[in-house]
A = this chain, B = another copy of it.
């Protein structure tokens, strides 16, 4: 299974591709999508969407893993990160891909055995698991790779079940009610 990990952000959005199965993982690619800080947020979200679409088109992953956004953390940046994560989830859903979200501590625990492991320990284990001499850079790319590994270790079974479900189109994903009320 090819897993596409996304560490969402507007200024830097890490992406990482890992192929494998629980207990076995191979590094495929990683990178960072950047959008200019001087553009309006709406345009930055559109640039992010376009770049994520390009990655999905080129790499054709079978599952997507996105870092979960917590309201408790980084109050100053949580809105931008949540919006970037929303675009990542949207693009994955549009491609009909199963999506899983993991907290940073879940990723650390999956890779090192401890949810409180530091960055260096996670980096060391990512290198060991993927048989790399150095962790992917920059840090956002490495975090996205770690997310993809976490999904292989933890989420593989659920993702395969979801992928085996019949493909559905937006129209059949439940009811959307767009009520029109003139209020008079």
Q: Flag A24-42 by CB within 8 Å of B: 1 or 0 each.
A: 0001011111111011111
Bound together, the chains give a CA A43 to CA B178 distance in angstroms of 17
Q: Does A170 contact B (CB under 8 A)?
A: yes
Would A34 and B176 be within 8 Å (CB), given that A79-B71, A79-B82 are in contact? yes
Bound together, the chains give a CA A173 to CA B79 distance in angstroms of 22
Q: Which of A41-57 contact B (CB under 8 A)?
A: 41-43, 45-47, 49-51, 54-55
How many A residues, CB 8 Å from partner? 68
Question: Quick check: B34 and A93 within 8 Å, CB to CB?
Answer: no
Question: Quick check: A83 and B89 within 8 Å, CB to CB?
Answer: yes
Question: Quick check: A183 and B54 within 8 Å, CB to CB?
Answer: no
Would A86 and B45 be within 8 Å (CB), given that A33-B178, A75-B71, A79-B71 are in contact? yes
Question: Quick check: A32 and B86 within 8 Å, CB to CB?
Answer: no
Bound together, the chains give a CA A30 to CA B58 distance in angstroms of 40
Question: Quick check: B179 and A32 within 8 Å, CB to CB?
Answer: yes
Q: Which of A79-98 contact B (CB under 8 A)?
A: 79, 82-87, 89-90, 92-94
